[in-house]
């Protein structure tokens, strides 16, 4: 079930605080976060995030196209390396 | 013979069904098109006169995305997902379902025909 429109999109308020700080001071500090469920807003563009995938932090540079997606979509939690015996000769 | 944006509409079918031969128009849209232009749904394509045909073509070109234009739009959307490298984009690249369906079995539409692997160990019965 999708989120109620009344509430609006979920954005982690701590992230917004950090992004605003980054934007006003014009520094490119990487933002470490576990908030995979937070939506990417237009203000995030140009910042780099370190998004946790359960194991380690994956760095994501936010571009304009990514607005509206969630942060977690860009740091995959599962790694598939192929089946055994599927090796190419 | 009625031709709309390079697609031949079958003459001997009702207008409602005939319009669905165009990529991007289903039954619902076809019904809407005919109702707005005051054409009977059950009227066959060969019974349409020029005026009615012109009205339909005008309406479609003005309001609905069909055929090549629609295909390119879809391709562009998929390409966008692939380029930004989000989860759905990755699934598109791998040719697997995007919306969390199971892949242990089924989902053959995305995965294509079954590929059996040669020399796979078989269970030996005693």
Q: What is the pLDDT of residues A58-68, one digit of tens each?
A: 998 988 888 88
| SS3 state of residue A85 | coil
Per-chain mean pLDDT for chain B: 84
Interface of B with A in 54-93 (CB under 8 A): 80, 83-88, 90
Q: How many CB pairs under 8 A join A and B?
A: 23
Percentage with pLDDT > 90 across chain A = 7
Chain B: residue nearest A68 by CA? B86
User: What is the rounded distance in angstroms from the CA atom of residue A48 to the CA atom of residue B40?
Assistant: 58
What is the structure's pLDDT at B74? 92
From the candidates A44, A65, A68, A89, which should be mutated to test the interface with B, based on the most B CB atoms within 10 A? Answer: A65
Over residues B19-37, mean pLDDT: 87
Residues of A in contact with B120 (CB under 8 A): 85
A16 backbone dihedrals φ, ψ, rounded to 5°: -60, -45
User: What is the rounded distance in angstroms from the CA atom of residue B112 to the CA atom of residue B94?
Assistant: 12
What is the structure's pLDDT at A57? 92
Here the tokens at position A37 are 């469920």
Q: What is the largest CA-CA distance in chain B?
A: 78
* Nearest-by-Cβ selection for A63 from B84, B87, B117: B84
Q: What's the complex ipTM?
A: 0.76
* Contact yes or no for A63 and B87 at CB 8 A: no
* Nearest-by-Cβ selection for A65 from B83, B117, B120: B83
pLDDT(A43) > 60:
yes
pLDDT(A34) > 80:
yes
What is the structure's pLDDT at B42? 84
| SS3 state of residue A45 | coil
């Amino acid at each position: 079930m999708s989120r109620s429109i009344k509430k609006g999109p979920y954005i982690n308020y701590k992230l917004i605080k950090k992004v605003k700080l980054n934007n006003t001071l014009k520094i490119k500090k990487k933002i470490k976060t576990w908030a995979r469920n937070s939506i990417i807003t237009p203000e995030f563009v140009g910042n780099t995030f370190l998004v946790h995938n359960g194991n380690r932090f994956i760095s994501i540079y936010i571009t304009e196209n990514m607005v509206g997606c969630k942060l977690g979509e860009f740091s995959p939690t599962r790694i598939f390396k192929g089946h055994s015996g599927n090796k190419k000769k | 013979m009625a031709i709309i944006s390079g697609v031949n509409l079958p003459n001997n079918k009702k207008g409602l069904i005939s319009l669905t031969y165009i990529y991007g128009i289903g039954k619902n849209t076809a019904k809407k098109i005919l109702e707005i232009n005051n054409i009977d749904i059950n009227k066959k394509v060969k019974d349409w006169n020029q005026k009615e045909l012109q009205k339909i073509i005008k309406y479609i070109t003005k309001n609905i995305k069909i055929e090549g234009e629609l295909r390119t739009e879809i391709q562009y959307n998929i390409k966008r997902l692939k380029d930004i490298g989000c989860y759905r984009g990755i699934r598109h690249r791998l040719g697997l379902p995007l919306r969390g369906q199971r892949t242990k079995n089924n989902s053959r539409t995305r995965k294509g025909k079954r590929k059996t692997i040669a020399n796979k160990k078989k269970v030996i019965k005693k």
